Structure 1
Amino acid sequence: MSFVVLLLAILIEKFSALRQRLQRDSGWVRELHKLEASTRLANRPWWVLAILVLLPVMLLGLLLVVLDPVAYGLLALPVHVLVLVFSLGRGDVLAGLGPFRDAWRRGDLQAAAHVAQRDIDVCADTGEQLLENVQGHLLWQAYQSFFAVIFWYFLLGPVAALSYRLLALAVEHGKNPELVERAQQLRHAFDWLPVRLLAASFALVGNFAAVSRVMLHELLSWDISAAQLIDKAGCAAAEIPPPQTGPEGVSSLDALWELLLRSALLWYAGFAVWTLLL
């Protein structure tokens, strides 16, 4: 059923507005801020995470235990689909880069810096660094929005996928530094394996030798962040040249996006083969 759910999630994302209807985080974020401001829980970040992350996923797990035996799991299928769609990343990565791409293609660095900060919260001291940061943003957003979620869904089901997204929301919206730090630690653990599998996928669909050189020193490292690793591996696999103003710089973003698409096809092919073998 996992592979069917993954296909349905892609169809829903591409051809319906259900994702926008499901991915409304305002209520959850409001409860997060309320618990952070509570005098009893202000210094207990683990309790806040237990209430807002552990409790929802436990309730989801209990619901699935009840539904799975009924009608050969058909009643659980829509729950799987809805949870997976909710767990995908927020927003459209390519649409968010549209104004930046236009400004960079014109060579207007000031406008590019303005729209990058406004639309995707990316800033830099120089134009070259700005393009590098936007490239890293594209790779990271694609990874955390899609690859990490479908990996954990396929491996452990909707409970793991929902856990990943709720931790990501806690990192993004949390105001208590201690809570954000704890959520980041848990998310780092979630990211360790899938980000390395995606880097290995980059090697298979891109420049294998260049990615191998990057992965050689970082393969088992716990200290490097997922964003740093995916940035290094992606740029190496796509053979991204030094930053350039104009159409050449935009072409580097296109090359990274094509790399991500090829990797997604590889993952889905791998999921299909695994499903057939089982």
Structure 2
Amino acid sequence: MSFLVLLLAILVEKFSSVRQRLQCDGGWLRELHKLESSPKLANKPWWVLAVLILFPVLVLALLLWVLEPVAYGLLVLPVHLLVLIYSLGRGDLLEGLGPMRDAWRRADLQASVHVAERDIGVRADSGEQLLEKVQSHLLWQAYQSFFAVIFWYFLLGPVAALSYRLLALAVEHGKNPQLVERAQQLRHAFDWLPVRLLAASFAFMGNFAAVTRVMLHELLSWDISAEQLINKAGCAAAEIPPPQVGPQGVASLDTLWALLLRSAVLWYTGFAVWTLLF
């Protein structure tokens, strides 16, 4: 059923606006800010994370357990689909990059810096640095919005996928430094395996030798962040040249996106083969 849900999620994403309506985080974020600012819980970040993450996933696990024997398990399918769609990243990655791409194509560095900060939260002191940061942003957002979620969904189901997204929301929107640090630690553990599998996919879909050189010393390292690793592996696999102003710079983003698409096809192929064999 997992592979069917993954296929349905792609169709829903492409041909409907369910994702935008479903991904409403307002209530959860209000509870996050309320609990992390509470005098009783301000110094107890693990308790806050337990309430905001462990409790919802336990409720989901209980719901799935109750629905499993009903109607031959058919009621579980829509729950899986809705949870998976909710667990995907927020916003449209390509749409967010559109204004920056247009400004960069015109070689308008000042406008590029402005729209990149406004639309995707990327700040840079120079045009060359901006393009490198946008490339990193593209790779990281694609990974954390899609690849990490579908990996954990396929491996452990909707409970793991939801856990990953709630951790990501805590990291991105938390205001209590202790809570954000604990959430980052847990998310780092979640990212360790899938980010390396995606880097390996980049090697097969791009320059294998270049990615191998990058990953040789980082493959088993716990210290390197998922964002750093995926950026190094992606740029090496796609053979991204030094930053260039104009259409050549935009072409580097297209090259990275094509690499991500090929890797997504590879992952879905792997999921399909695993489903057929096991």
Q: Give me the whole-angstrom Cα distance separating, in 2, the residues matched to 1:148 and 1:261.
A: 15
1:36-185 to structure 2, matched below 5 A, reads: 36-185=36-185
Offset, 1:69: 2.0
Question: Cα deviation per residue 1:217-255 (whole Å; 9 max; x = unaligned)?
Answer: 100000000000000000000000000000000000000
TM-score, normalised by the number of residues in structure 1: 0.99
In structure 2, list runs of 5 or more residues that go unmatched.
none
Offset, 1:101: 0.2
Q: Give me the whole-angstrom Cα distance separating, in 2, the residues matched to 1:73 and 1:182.
A: 36
Offset, 1:36: 1.1
CA RMSD of the aligned region, Å? Answer: 0.5
Offset, 1:49: 0.2
Offset, 1:70: 2.0
Q: Provide the residue aligned with 2:189 in structure 1.
A: 189
Q: Which range moved further: 268-277 or 62-71?
A: 62-71
Partner-residue secondary structure (3-state), 2:79? helix
TM-score, normalised by the number of residues in structure 2: 0.99
Q: Give me the whole-angstrom Cα distance separating, in 1, the residues matched to 2:123 and 2:38.
A: 34
Partner-residue secondary structure (3-state), 1:125? coil
Q: Give me the whole-angstrom Cα distance separating, in 1, the residues matched to 2:88 and 2:237.
A: 25
Partner-residue secondary structure (3-state), 1:271? helix
Offset, 1:123: 1.0
Question: Cα deviation per residue 1:64-110 (whole Å; 9 max; x = unaligned)?
Answer: 11111222221100000000000000000000000000000000000
Give the letter for the 2:169 counterpart.
Answer: L
Q: Give me the whole-angstrom Cα distance separating, in 2, the residues matched to 1:205 and 1:67.
A: 40
> Is structure 2 residue 257 aligned with structure 1 residue 257?
yes
> Is structure 2 residue 199 aligned with structure 1 residue 204?
no
Q: Provide the residue aligned with 2:10 in structure 1.
A: 10
In structure 1, list runs of 5 or more residues that go unmatched.
none
Question: Cα deviation per residue 1:4-28 (whole Å; 9 max; x = unaligned)?
Answer: 0000111111100110011000100
How many residues of Structure 1 are paired with residues of Structure 2 in the alignment?
278
- Percent identity between the two aligned chains: 82
Q: Give me the whole-angstrom Cα distance separating, in 1, the residues matched to 2:103 and 2:203.
A: 31
Give the letter for the 1:259 counterpart.
Answer: L
Q: Give me the whole-angstrom Cα distance separating, in 2, the residues matched to 1:6 and 1:70.
A: 22
Q: Give me the whole-angstrom Cα distance separating, in 1, the residues matched to 2:72 and 2:271.
A: 21
